[in-house]
Chains A and B, each alone.
Chain A
């Protein structure tokens, strides 16, 4: 199964992924034109702050079985067999939000989309960049991510990286704290300061 794997410790909240996602789902697929379109494209990945100013890029996991698909009364949600992606037939969506209630990750948002001629809002969730995948490209968010917080690939391969790292740490007696990549001292110092500030902030 190919997926966009998230390594939250590498996310620095730059929101490149959000911008790339919005551009990819704009009618023009161009940054400079996207901001002038009638229905402004919105990101389908959400970088949000948790505690201590740490961030997590949250997007559709394309579950299987997918709770959203199971509850959709109009069968607007369907699976693309080639890419294992959960997709939305916008013309069938009735904006009832039952899918959003069923989604374990809270990533479904309702927007008007350029594919429909009316302004009504529909489930405009992540489509796994199906068009890009069909032309051999990886999802826009993973391509935009400069730190490796979002990596596209086979889940088992990506998990193996984590496992190998853990094994090495155990063998080098570096303890059991799983850390895929050693966070550089300067970045760690910065995060420590942010944690202190978070304790002093509203």
Chain B
């Protein structure tokens, strides 16, 4: 017999946010399988895999190392636990770097198509950023049309994916001391694709048996992502769609509308969803929606596609990774548009329980059961209109008896690009630096990353963010972490009341929240640029600054790449979920302490967000002490 009290208890254990809890109960009522059910079904999970000592690469295997000191101590090929763990980590990291960078490549291809007049519906919106970045690449801008400059820039950036010059231009943005550390360690990235391809080479049997050498290449690959592929994704998107400026919006599943056509934009790449934003304003389509009895067309974002639209247009955001099934379970979604990354392969199966249509749009990311409407730059706007039309057609199929939408979306602010933060501070980082030197702000921590059903949804993010701001540490966020803070009400200036007196005074003076939403996961590159500018003003390396990073609820290989380029750039980073390295004490030692001597930062693993706050604060105070402040 169904027990509503028990369902409520389960929902409270799964998610922190009350809107999420409400729909988790509804999903259970409706008999919908969700990620939490699948996680339970997977228990126990294989210890060899969790420790990273399972190798399934070649046909002499699969092999695994006995973790308690007995035989087998080597794979068939002779690989030790150290080597197997290091190769697996490099594999995961390279997958993440490839995901970010391939996203970047597609943005640049649309930029090139737009510059050459082949795309439909796109224009170059941020000429100022175009000029700035073009100048970095040594591209002549004076007296040239923006399309000419953009074409040259897109080609110059795309060339760096496989460049022969063995250099990525935007790594020059790093402070000299940071670059020197990379040079000394031999980890200056040479091109975006090359490092990933070389990773694939290095994890082949018989290519290097030195775990430390493999992990150094992992750092180089991550730098090619953070200061390469991801940064190109951010800059390319800014040039095409505008650099974000502070905006207000709404968050949580309550952003879905009871009387409008709901379209959820889920995934990571904004190139199609930007056109959907345009299409949703088309008077013909708005009229058609009214004819079907809808009060309008309601676009909401999800995951990082949502973050991109939130940052630039203030489009409300329905939720994070673990909200994708819940959005459908409201029964109120006409269409969920997916591009790629972090989309549950079962999403069309979930949608099949309601009237919701899932629309797959990328040739790379087809999903059985989804309607496939391929996005191409030359027909981008037409495809976007067709998708909106499909959603409108589907509106009458919504069954009001099966709809439940949480009552109250939460007010939030986003749009804090690096440029916007600088502007909010009055055009220079001096006020922030002064506050840090004076000690009213102790330092800055970037909380990034995903959700993971292993931890109560958003608990890690929110507990850590609240604890850090209470200790006068400014928090900057991207990805699902930032959405979590939106849902929890931390992204409004009034949240400064939760901060310590020093940070509160700074936030009130500048009119900013104590937790700043800096964008999608590729926008972790914005955090790097911010750190670089502050370090340059002080004439130090990033590793000297009182900074920290945290990924309390990460799940994705992309998070491994982000965490590693944070550390390689000099930012101490605490992971809330253990990476698959615990089968090798040597790899643990390298990543959690020996890296300090190479890049002036290291990793820690700490699931408890209160203890993570202690670790981050201790490092910030250590760095402050070393700076003499």
Contacts and interface: CB of A to CB of B under 8 A. Distances in A.
Contacts of B44: 13, 15, 47-49, 53, 55
A59 to B, nearest CB: 15
A47 B47 CA distance: 12
A147 B68 contact: yes
Interface in B64-101: 64, 66-70, 72
Most chain B CB within a 10 A radius of its CB, from A14, A55, A146, A202: A202
A118 interface: no
Nearest to B43: A49
Interface stretch (A33-41, A88-96, A167-175, A181-189): A181-189
Contacts of A55: 44, 47
Given A193-B607, A201-B455, A183 B68 contact: yes
Interface in A39-94: 47-49, 53, 55
A40 B453 CA distance: 30
Interface in A144-202: 146-148, 181-187, 189-190, 193-194, 196-197, 199-202
A103 interface: no
Contacts of B67: 12, 147, 184, 186-187
Contact of A187 (B51, B70, B456, B606): B51
A6 interface: no
B525 to A, nearest CB: 29
Contacts of A107: none
Interface string A1-23: 00000000011111100000000
Contacts of B577: 197
Nearest to A189: B582
A187 B69 CA distance: 10
B13 A187 contact: no
Contacts of B453: 201-202
B36 A202 contact: yes
B51 A190 contact: yes
A201 B456 contact: yes
Nearest to A148: B70
Contact of A14 (B14, B46, B607): B46
Contacts of B47: 11-14, 55
A186 B605 contact: no
B106 interface: no
A186 B46 contact: no
A146 B583 CA distance: 15
B510 interface: no
B82 to A, nearest CB: 11
Contacts of B70: 147-148
B429 interface: no
B607 A200 contact: yes
Contact of B605 (A48, A193, A199): A193
Contacts of B356: none
B454 interface: yes
B13 A202 contact: yes
Contacts of A201: 453-456
A12 B68 CA distance: 10
Contact of B459 (A47, A193, A200): A200
Contacts of A185: 585
A12 B64 CA distance: 12
Contacts of A196: 606-608
B578 interface: yes
B584 A186 contact: yes
Contacts of A10: 68
Nearest to A188: B582
Most chain A CB within a 10 A radius of its CB, from B70, B460, B584: B70
B10 interface: yes
B22 to A, nearest CB: 16
A14 B583 CA distance: 14
B578 A193 contact: yes
B4 interface: no
B45 interface: yes
B136 to A, nearest CB: 42
Contacts of A48: 43-44
A200 B16 CA distance: 11
Most chain B CB within a 10 A radius of its CB, from A14, A49, A53, A148: A14
A55 B584 CA distance: 21
Contacts of A11: 47
Contacts of A49: 43-44
Interface string B358-394: 0000000000000000000000000000000000000
B595 to A, nearest CB: 17
Interface in B40-54: 43-51
A200 B460 contact: yes
A200 B68 contact: no
A14 B49 CA distance: 8
B588 interface: yes
Contacts of B608: 196, 199-200
A181 B607 contact: no
B578 A147 contact: no
Nearest to B585: A186
A190 B582 contact: yes
Contacts of B607: 193, 196-197, 200
A202 B68 contact: no
B401 to A, nearest CB: 29
Contacts of B585: 184-186
Contacts of B456: 200-202
Nearest to A185: B585
B460 A181 contact: no
A184 B10 CA distance: 35
Nearest to A197: B607
A200 B460 CA distance: 8
A47 B45 CA distance: 10
A148 B70 CA distance: 9
A184 B69 contact: yes
Interface in B565-620: 577-578, 582-585, 588, 605-608
Given A190-B582, A196-B606, A202-B456, 7 more contacts: A14-B47, A53-B45, A181-B69, A187-B582, A200-B607, A202-B10, A202-B453
Interface of A: 10-15, 47-49, 53, 55, 146-148, 181-187, 189-190, 193-194, 196-197, 199-202
15 contacts: A12-B48, A12-B50, A13-B46, A48-B44, A53-B45, A147-B70, A184-B67, A184-B69, A187-B67, A193-B578, A194-B578, A199-B608, A202-B10, A202-B13, A202-B453
Pick the 5 closest A-B CB pairs, nearest first. Answer: A12-B47, A13-B44, A190-B582, A202-B13, A196-B607
